[in-house]
Structure 1
Amino acid sequence: MRLRSRSTVLAASLVLALTAGPLVAPAFAAPTATVTARAAKTVPDPGALQAALAGLPDSDATAALVRVGGTDGSWRGSAGVHDLASGRAADPNARFRAGSTTKVVTAATVLKLAAEGRVDLDTPVQHYLPGLLTPAFKPISVRQLLNHTSGIKPGDGWGDDFADQYAHRFDTITPEQVVASAVAKGPEFDPGDQQDYLNINYTILGMLIEKVTGHSYAHEATRLVLRPAGMRHTYFPGTDPVIHGPHNHGYQLVKDADGTTRFVDVSDWNQADRWAAGDMISTTADLERLITALFQGRIVPEPQLQEMFTVPANITGATYSAGLERFEHKGTVYWLKSGARYGYSTAIAATRDLSRALVYSVNSTDAKGESANPVAERIIMATLKQQPER
């Protein structure tokens, strides 16, 4: 299977109209929320946000945690269940698999090392990791790994569908094996010619971090990013399949041969192959701390911080920067990152000035599907909906 961490459809969902609600199962717990508005021209619409979480659990999601923040006002909400067996209300402070939002941390770690003079963004990765790539690859700069213009093809995994992967959920594919399988395929295109969002770029960046610092990726990412941002409930699990600490269970909705469907608990899963590209476990509060600290310049200093807000100018249709994706809606630019692991869909987004920020974790029942999760769509549209300050 191609280990391609798709950008899901978060950016596209920002402009989708609200569709008909999903098939609603009996709700075990009503959504809970708090709202605090500060001085601003517009504030979050609490009614729309509350409605976005109504009816959980259902066939699309078993829980959802939402934090809307920024200088325009704040809102907190949660809905659904901790697990289907007990029906206990979802924990609003729960940990979850944050998926590709891990890339924001990895990018910030590399940029912090660049600010310290330990990494040159224009130097080829072949200089830092000699022998990793074959002579078939032209020089690939660190910056080209950061913005997904390297031309390296994706690595291989356990299979092409949920059943294949679920059967190996406790087995390990190392980052080295992932990279070796990608390198063996040769380049997809010349560095800098195109943009193709892939995990492999950030897996190699994880290796670069370890080579430059002499410490593990988890150690350096924690030291340079998590700790300064105050992310006390975030960690990197490695080969450990368990989410430690309070967490809401994740499920995959599976259709059997006889046409019936059932929920399969996918909370426990070895994510070693995702590593620096997507194995982080976090909370909505910690992810809000991350995006706030980053955008305020408290993690990565200028001028390196500008890499996170710069997309390649010479590539038509490019939207990815170092760790983030640019999206413009009604004249407002949002910088965002989504992530998806089985059972969990996550996103962080904010305007550059932090007037509006969004973090959500949706316990999606088809987190790796090709379509947007209806609950996530409703959250996004509700976040964009504003009401005049009273």
Structure 2
Amino acid sequence: MTLVAATAVALSVALAGPALAAPTGGGHDATREALRAAVKDGVPGVTATAKDAHGAWRATEGVGNLRTGEPRSTADRYRVGSITKTFVATVLLQLEAEGTLSLDDTVDEWLPGTVRGNGHDGRKITLRQLLNHTSGIYNYTADEEFGRTYFLKDGFFEHRYDTKKPAELVAIAMTHKPDFAPGTSWSYSNTNYVLAGMVIEKATGRPYGAEIRDRILRPLHLNATSVPGTRVTVPQPSSRAYSKLAETATGPTYDVTRINPSLAYAAGEMISDSADLNRFYRALLGGKLLPQEQLKAMKTTVAIDGAPNLGYGLGLMDLKLSCGVHVWGHGGGIHGSSSQAVTTPDGRHSLAFNFNGDWAGDSEAVIEAEFCGGR
């Protein structure tokens, strides 16, 4: 695994998906077996919650604390990484619906001079291109020095409590050339969503986390969900989070639960639990958060090279499973935590789960099991 691959573990794109009816029936035996397989693969523990016409199903496997052997809880809160992006995109789309901004505005209109250097030009990049990752802006978490500082052992333990300002994260990206000209290709870049968070703050005059709280968390009663800012702890109930802090998936395992998540900002700093994530995506796809025009725009996807079963919309991914079922959602990784949240297009069948280790576990197998296997 290269250093770039190691950094991708921490703040990355993951799975999500598209649209048909899921198979009917009771039981989640296949899903439980997939959770057990993840633990056998090396994940310390996993917590999952599914919601369908039969009600809520909750399960855990493995441990939440390697030292004490305490099991994971179905009520665990955890860092959700890039799932944050769906919340951020939702707020920007709400602001568009209200007439505050347009997704066809350029980045430079809202953040003059911020995207400049080595061929980057915010005058030629739209807000829409930030949200669907067609901007070409370099991904700051792929920077080699950033990776050594925050994702490998020596750097992590020296810098885990550093506060990074969003402008500093963008500045790292500006030291590199763009990946491509705006609108000509697709490449996942956390820098896009750092900029999106900055635009929300410029447009509203408030922290982007306050907008998420007032527009989404409070109306939906997502009481386990938060935007921590610089808070280094995860609220209880929660488990410990573990990482190898290395370029390989072997070697010692380290407790990385405490970290200043400002290094992720609007690209991946949020905390939630499985029940809240299911409720959020069900509400989003059910039209409770966005007008139809904006929801349609959010679900308008671009192709991802090398992944014919995936499409990326505006902070929302479309995954076609082996049985033909489509699910929508997002995944995310950050130190010691790998999470997925997916929902069928009608919002009737949802799944959210978290591994408290960032080096092992087959997330797609869990999703396949829930929506295709044995139901």
**TM-score over 0.5 for the pair:** yes
Aligned counterparts of 1:331 and 1:100: Cα–Cα separation in 2: 25
Report the Cα offset of residue 55 of structure 1: 7.5
1:82 CA drift (Å): 2.9
Q: Indicate yes or no: 2:227 matched with 1:227.
A: no
| Counterparts of 1:152 and 1:56, CA distance in 2 | 34
Partners of 1:311 and 1:56 lie apart in 2 by 30
**CA spacing shift, 1:255–1:277, aligned 2, 3 Å:** closer
Aligned residue for 1:63? 45
Q: Structure 1 pair 180/331, CA: closer, same or farther in 2 (3 Å)?
A: same
What is the distance in 1 between the residues matched to 2:40 and 2:303? 43
Structure 1 CA distance for aligned equivalents of residues 289 and 16 of structure 2: 25
84-93 vs 64-73, greater mean Cα deviation: 64-73
Task: Name the residue aligned to 2:253.
Answer: 263
Separation in 2, partners of 1:98, 1:158: 21
**Which of the numbers 291, 298, 305 marks the counterpart of 2:281?**
291
Between 71-80 and 227-236, the greater mean CA deviation after superposition = 71-80
Matches within 5 A, 1:232-247: 232-247=223-238
In our comparison, the structure showing a higher alpha carbon Rg is: 1
Matched with 1:6 is 12
Partner of 1:300: 290
Q: Which of structures 1 and 2 has the larger relative contact order (alpha carbons within 8 angstroms, sep 6+)?
A: 2
Is 1:115 aligned with 2:107?
Answer: no
Amino acid at match of 1:175: P
SS at match of 2:240: coil
CA contact (8 A) 1:42 1:72 kept: no
Q: How does 1:101-250 map to 2 (within 5 A)?
A: 101-134=83-116, 136=119, 137=121, 138-155=123-140, 156=143, 158-160=146-148, 161-167=151-157, 168-250=159-241
| 3-state SS, counterpart of residue 334 of structure 1 | strand
Residue number in structure 2 paired with 1:345? 338
Question: Is 1:323 aligned with 2:310?
Answer: no
Aligned twin of 2:349: 356
CA deviation map 1:15-58 (0-9, x unaligned): xxxxxxxxxxxxxxxxxxxxxxxxx9612542222323337865
C-alpha deviation, 1:176, in angstroms: 0.9
Q: Which runs of 5+ in 1 are unaligned?
A: 15-39
User: Normalization by structure 1: what TM-score?
Assistant: 0.82
Provide, for residues 313-339 of structure 1, a one-character-per-residue CA deviation record: whole Å limited to 9, x for no partner: 799967211011112233322212110
137-146 or 285-294: bigger deviation: 137-146
The CA distance in 2 between the partners of 1:272 and 1:172, in whole Å, is 6
CA distance, structure 2, for counterparts of residue 82 and residue 315 of structure 1: 36
What's the % identity of the aligned pairs?
Answer: 33
In structure 1, give the amino acid aligned to 2:325. Answer: T
Change (3 A) 1:235 1:255: closer
- The 8 Å contact of residues 295 and 354 in structure 1, kept in 2 or not, is answered as yes
Change (3 A) 1:42 1:182: same
Farther off after superposition, 199-208 or 304-313: 304-313
- Cα distance, 1:385 vs structure 2: 3.2
Partners in 2 of 1:295 and 1:231 — Cα distance? 16
Compute the RMSD of aligned alpha carbons: 3.0
Within 2, Cα distance between the matches of 1:326 and 1:41?
Answer: 18
- Aligned equivalents of 1:65, 1:311: Cα separation in 2: 30
Which segment drifts farther, 141-150 or 230-239? 230-239
Which has a greater percent of helix? Answer: 2
Does structure 2 conserve the Cα–Cα contact (< 8 Å) formed by 1:310 and 1:322? yes
Aligned ranges 1:73-88 → 2 under 5 Å: 74-88=56-70
Q: So what's the TM-score if we normalise by structure 2?
A: 0.85
Segments of 5+ residues of structure 2 without an aligned counterpart are: none
Q: Which amino acid aligns with 2:198?
A: M
Range that drifts further, 311-320 or 283-292: 311-320
Q: Which moved more, 1:51-60 or 1:291-300?
A: 51-60
Please report how far the alpha carbon of residue 187 of structure 1 lies from its aligned counterpart in structure 2 after TM superposition. Answer: 2.7
Q: Deviations over 1:153-184 (max 9, x none)?
A: 12246334522442321222221111012123
**Offset of 1:217 from its aligned partner?**
1.1
Q: Tell me the distance in 1 between the aligned counterparts of 2:33 and 2:337.
A: 21
Structure-2 separation of matches of 1:297 and 1:76: 26
Counterpart position of 1:280: 270
